[in-house]
Amino acid sequence: MDRDMSRASGGIRAVQVAHGRGGASGWSRRLPSLLLRATFAGCLAAGLALAPIAVGAQQARFDTSLVRTFTVAALVTAARTGDSLAGFRASNPATHQRLQGVISRLDRPEVMRLPLALVARPERVTGSTRQARVAFVARAERPANAPGLAEYDGPALDTLAMLMAQELPRALEPLVGEDSTDRLLEPLEAFNFARRGASIAMSLEKLRRYERKYGPGSPRLNGVEVLLNYGAQWLPGFRPNVEGWPGALEVVASYVPMYLTVVDGNGRAIAVAELGLRRYLWNKDFGNSLLKPAYLSLGLAVAGERDAALASPLSGGQRFGAFFGWGEAKIAWIGGSEKRLMFTRQMQLVPWVF
Amino acid sequence: MSFELQSHQWPARRAVLLVHGIGNAKPGDYTALVADVNTMLGAEAANTVIYQLWYDQVNDWFAAKTDLAHLITVAVKALATRIDDSEIGEAIAESAGDVLWPVLSANARAAAREAFLAQVKQMVQDGVASGVAARRQKLSIICHSLGCFHTYEALHHAALFASHTLQPATHEVVFDNVIFMASPVQLIRTVAGEMGNLVPNKRWLYTVKDDKLSIPSETTLSGTVVPSVRRWVSITGDLDPVGGHFFKKKAPWAYMDVAGQESRVDDQAALNITSKAQLAQVLKASLRDRQPPVIAASNPHSWENYVRGHAAELNQWIAT
């Protein structure tokens, strides 16, 4: 943090000067701004030699190690410096006010000392952000994810980064050039780098879940289930949500030609129709063993009047019950005149049929 | 097998993402196309990183589990009716029908979009890790056929959802060029519109979402509209039905025409396809039963031909 602060200390001093004379007018108002720009340019020139970042022959080059070393204080300082350099107080008062609003929220020691890598999480704004206002963004759910970070600090950080990215580069580049703009906004780049890393992990997690539900290891569907699950895409829980996370549910409507049971000491096979739901378990620890399966299933089980394999359960005199699947292992119980407790394994013998 | 992203060190500020169309592509495929792109880049090839999006693995998950052949037949019939040409209508509908299936599966669409966005994020991240700030990156996408649909969907989603950290203003990720080759986006929009309520989760199908197709953008808090793409180009051929041309005749209901796009329509006379019957034969020859079509160089839909035919212009757009 000390390094962050020292790199931008010229900026901080200058901001304080400018704000101290905020009520002045004419030359007295413009002078601090000009002095500020001169000071910043000097600081940058000196800072380039000292700064712990890789500098190419022609351009400043971002160093990803900064993601670990920069703190919230660096981001706030960059925002303050940029705001002051760009002269937003006079030229863009709405942005100035918004920046100061979120900065005042974050400017607490317990927040300012937090590393950006620790506070960076993918933003969880759902729905259209085209007409988003600060209040809307700040209301977005985002759990406190670091010691010292209060409920609304996360959204405030997102809003600060949003304002910086949306307003500062185009205001600063004509004043100080691309290189200096990039140098000043390095904390923002670091914050976005950390957030993007988290976002990539989020995308890969979504794909892992899609693979669990649809990939080679998932239960195969029969023709009826294909149609029912096509229709279920209109229902929450079955379709992907707005952020693209897959729904955990799937319709089960299958014919199992052989559930196995024991009657009077003899093994017997019984055909059963199942109608229910399959729920996929997203936990990474699950999906690799019988004890920790990739999915559960539950629903109505229907058997015919008599115990028989490959028979139609719907030919009259049905016996009703329930089935429960723990991954591939399934158990079913049917009532009626001849109650049965049966077992089977999830499998598809004839593709798209049963 | 889990989904893997390509990651590269950047030698300079430029990267190109290639998004292929229908196929069973896997890492190592499309070598001829990559060679064509490198030739097109010329001296700048050494300063450009080429990424390829491999999303067929994701498509395969859905193809193996959710056989929507019957519904695709419904879509193909709707398309054939729309084309209304007894000589080539059926052949075109069959050859273009493969690009329609994503509209029928909201999950397949979302998964392919996620794979796309994950790769784009990794590309931007690689650039930053190589020392190039996001706002200085020179990013381009060249997409073909169904890849154009996924590109359209993904870019619109990214512009809307901050969670992907790819918004043009908030995250400073702006593409210099997105070049659509034989884009079926408008064709899909029309057919999906005619299929009406058979299309699931339409609310998040950007191809049909608004009054008209558009270049994705983000509106800043101060009200400035920042497009995600600086140059939006559509390249197709006058014999390429997927690109909205039915034997040298442009079909406005099938041709992608986005406000602000630069358009190129190739005269494909060099292919020596002089009759509708001949075109139908070429299109049918590319089809395979329950497998992706094989697009030969003689096919007006060939991606390689589009890249070669526009090498000079592409170089000007991407490499300068």
B300 CA: distance to closest CA in chain A (Å): 34
Buried b (16+ CB within 10 A) or exposed e, B199-225: bbbbebbbbbeeeebbbbbbbbbeeee
Q: Which residue has the higher pLDDT, A7 or B258?
A: B258
Local confidence band at A10 (pLDDT 50, 70, 90 cut-offs): very low
Query: Per residue in A86-120, pLDDT tens?
Result: 999 999 999 999 999 999 999 999 999 999 888 88
C-alpha torsion angle, residues B104, B110, B116, B117 (rounded to 10):
150
Is the pLDDT at B84 greater than 80? The verdict is: no
Bridge partner residues of A273 (DSSP): A255, A302
Q: Return the structure tokens found at B143.
A: 């997409």
The strand pair at B229-237 and B175-181 is best described as parallel
pLDDT of A82 > 90? The answer is yes
State yes or no: pLDDT of A34 exceeds 60: no
Asked if A117 and A198 count as a contact pair (C-beta separation under 8 A), the reply is: no
Q: Is A197 on the interface with B (CB under 8 A)?
A: yes
More confident residue, A317 or B72: A317
pLDDT at B238: 94
Per-residue pLDDT band for A351 (boundaries 50, 70, 90) equals low
Q: Which residue of B has its CA nearest to A186?
A: B133
Measure A303 CA to nearest chain B CA, in Å.
Answer: 26
Are the C-beta atoms of residues A200 and B121 closer than 8 Å to each other?
yes
**Distance to chain B for A213, nearest Cα, Å:** 9
For CA atoms B234, B202, A226, B115, the dihedral sign is positive
B159-170 pLDDT, tens per residue? 999 999 999 999
Contacts of A187 in chain B (CB under 8 A): none
- Which residue from B49, B217, B208 is spatially nearest to B120, judged by alpha carbons? B49
Count other C-beta atoms under 10 Å from residue B118's C-beta.
24
**Average pLDDT of chain A to the nearest whole number:** 78
Strand A319-326 with A329-334, pairing: antiparallel
Q: Per-residue pLDDT tens for A188-204?
A: 999 999 999 999 999 99
Predicted confidence at residue B39, as pLDDT, reads: 96
Quick check: helix, strand or coil at residue A56?
coil
Residue A53 has pLDDT above 60, yes or no: no
CB contact at 8 A, A190 and A67: yes
For testing the chain B interface, which of A67, A116, A196 should be mutated: the one with the most B CBs within 10 Å?
A196
Rounded Cα gap, residues A3 and A52, in angstroms: 9
Considering A65-69, A326-330, A336-340, B177-181, the range whose residues carry the highest mean pLDDT is: B177-181
Show which of residues 37-96 on chain A sit within 8 Å of chain B, judged by CB atoms.
54, 56, 59, 61-64, 92, 94-95
Nearest chain A alpha carbon to B120: A200
B188's tokens:
């899909």
DSSP B298-320: TSTT-HHHHHHHTHHHHHHHH--
Instruction: Note whether B5 contacts A197, CB cutoff 8 Å.
Output: no
User: Which residue, among B10, B116, B165, B210, would best test binding to A if mutated, counting the most A CBs under 10 Å from its CB?
Assistant: B165
- Dump the DSSP string for A287-298: SSSSSS-SEEEE
B315 pLDDT band (50/70/90 cuts)?
Answer: very high
pLDDT digits (tens, 9 = 90+) for B211-235: 999 999 999 999 999 999 999 999 9
User: What's the pLDDT tens digit per position in A208-244?
Assistant: 999 999 998 899 888 899 899 999 999 999 999 988 9
pLDDT digit string, tens, across residues B3-47: 889 999 999 999 999 999 876 677 778 888 999 999 999 999 999
Q: Which residue has the higher pLDDT, B198 or A84?
A: A84
Predicted local confidence at residue A353, as pLDDT: 63
Nearest-CA distance A211 → chain B (Å): 7
Give me the total of CB pairs closer than 8 Å, taking one residue from chain A and one from chain B: 183
**Up-side HSE of residue A308: CA atoms within 13 Å toward CB?**
10
Burial of A28 (0-12, 13-18, 19+ CB in 10 A): exposed
Q: How far apart are CA A83 and CA A70, in angstroms?
A: 19
Confidence (pLDDT) at A122: 59
CA distance B307 to B40: 8
Q: Beta strands of chain B (E only): which ranges? A: 14-19, 48-53, 138-144, 175-181, 217-219, 225-227, 229-237, 262-266
Of A158, A162, A242, the CB nearest to B204: A242
pLDDT band of residue B1 (cuts 50, 70, 90) is: low
pLDDT (0 to 100) of residue A146: 65
Quick check: B114 and A206 in contact, CB under 8 A? Answer: yes
Task: Take residue A289 and report the two structure tokens written for it.
Answer: 């063993």
pLDDT, tens digit (0-9, with 9 covering 90-100), for A228-284? 999 999 999 999 998 899 999 999 999 988 899 998 888 899 999 999 999 999 998
Cβ-nearest to A133 among B114, B128, B221: B221
ipTM of predicted complex: 0.92
Given a cut of 80, whether residue A132 has pLDDT beyond it is no
Output the CA–CA distances (angstroms, integers) from residue A301 to A261, A332, A342, B29, in the order listed.
Answer: 14, 7, 11, 48
> What pLDDT score was predicted for residue B74?
75
Give the residue ranges of DSSP H helices in B130-184: 146-160
State the distance between the two ends of chain A, measured CA to CA, in whole angstroms: 63
Residue A353 is given by DSSP the state T
Of A61, A192, A204, which is closest to B131 when you measure between CB atoms? A61
Q: Output the pLDDT for position B102.
A: 80
> Quick one: residue B103, left, alpha or beta (phi over 0 = left, psi -120 to 50 = alpha)?
alpha
Which of B61, B115, B222 comes nearest A167 by C-beta? Answer: B222
A108: contact with B, CB 8 A cutoff = no
Task: State residue A352's pLDDT score.
Answer: 61
pLDDT, one tens digit per residue, over A310-331 is 778 877 788 999 999 999 899 9
Nearest residue on chain B to A92, judged by CA atoms?
A: B222
> Closest residue of A to B127, CA-based?
A62
CA distance B295 to A256: 42
Mean pLDDT of A140-166: 78
**Integer Cα distance of A20 and B308 in angstroms:** 62
- Residue B178: which of B315, B16, B7, B6 has the closest Cα? B16
